[in-house]
Amino acid sequence: MTKSVTDYFPTGTPLQWRPITPDDIGQWLELIKRMAEEDKPDWVEERADLEQILESSKTDPEKDTILGLDADGVPRAVGAIQKNHGSTLIHTMGGVDPAWRRRGIGTALYGWQAARARRRLDEDGAAEGVLRTYAEERVPSQLALMDATGNTVVRYFTEMTRPLGTEIPAVQIPAGLRIATFSEELSEAVRLAHNEAFQDHWGSEPRDEESWRYTVTHPEFRPDWSLAVVDEETGEVAAYQLASFDPGSKEILGYTEAYTDLLGVRRNWRGLRLAPALLVEAMRRFAADGIENAGLGVDTENPSGALGLYERLGYEPTHRTRVYELAI
């Protein structure tokens, strides 16, 4: 027999559970801010991110989202899952208001996510899949939940930052290649270059047009800081760097930080120092606009040697994120 939503949650918890609607976004955002105040994460969702969850084809809001409200109608817990069409990888997001923790709500939310993930796999005729959760090591409650629910750590990502007040090195690229500022005309070529560059990277799935449009129209995306290396003979995009800026970075981190979200080099152009050339050009642009630090994240087990490259350019680690997976 199929369980109802309330079957997953503690009977003594006075919360009413239902799917998230667009009218909830304002209060949902306030819940995220309360959680961020307690947990001090490196990154906090904004309104555009929440709208995207409800609008994305990866999510059926009626079935893939859940909101727990107290007697006054204030959201105290939230959960959602997302899955690309045809994929067997499901991502989680969510959390519990700090004032409502230690009541079993987080564990119940995760149980609901795992059960919903199983149903999504069933709908695609998939016998098995993986539920993936990213948890910052600075948030012990998240780590404890993952450990308690049978998850396994499968990867570590390191956040890094570089002060822009120190000297920015010069890196030359070969003749016949040029660095161009990101533009709408280059966008599709950069998307395809990204999918090719990351096809051999752990955990990566191709970016479809929908998810790419979300990336390059996000309020924090900075096209003037985003770059592509173009082969002048063929017009192909050989490499790219996409950057963003969170206006709240000063409050969260203690310094303003421009962030490299995506960086990649296509296979036929590797070994030409295109990645460091893009990073230093981005640094110059960040610094020219008065930004204090450049930041990025790296898969610490990436066989390409990316961690060493970033360290040589002056980036230093700040904290780690664990990638947890549960077999479904």
pLDDT tens digits for 85-130?
899 999 999 999 999 999 999 999 999 999 999 999 999 999 999 9
Q: Which residues of the chain have pLDDT under 70?
A: 1-13, 303-304
Name the pTM for this structure.
Answer: 0.91
Q: For residue 203, what pLDDT is reported? A: 81
For residue 114, the SS3 value is helix
**Judging by beta carbons within 10 Å of its beta carbon (0-12, 13-18, 19+), is residue 176 exposed, middle or buried?**
exposed
Q: For residue 8, what pLDDT is reported? A: 63
Q: For residue 40, what pLDDT is reported? A: 87
Which domains occur in the chain, in start order?
5-150 (3.40.630.30), 159-319 (3.40.630.30)
Furthest-apart CA pair in the chain: how many Å?
A: 69
- Cα–Cα dist 126/112, whole Å: 19
For residue 232, the SS3 value is coil
DSSP 4: P
Q: For residue 2, what pLDDT is reported? A: 45
Q: For residue 5, what pLDDT is reported? A: 54
Query: Are 17 and 5 in contact, with CB atoms under 8 Å apart?
Result: yes
Query: Are 243 and 222 in contact, with CB atoms under 8 Å apart?
Result: yes
For residue 96, the SS3 value is strand
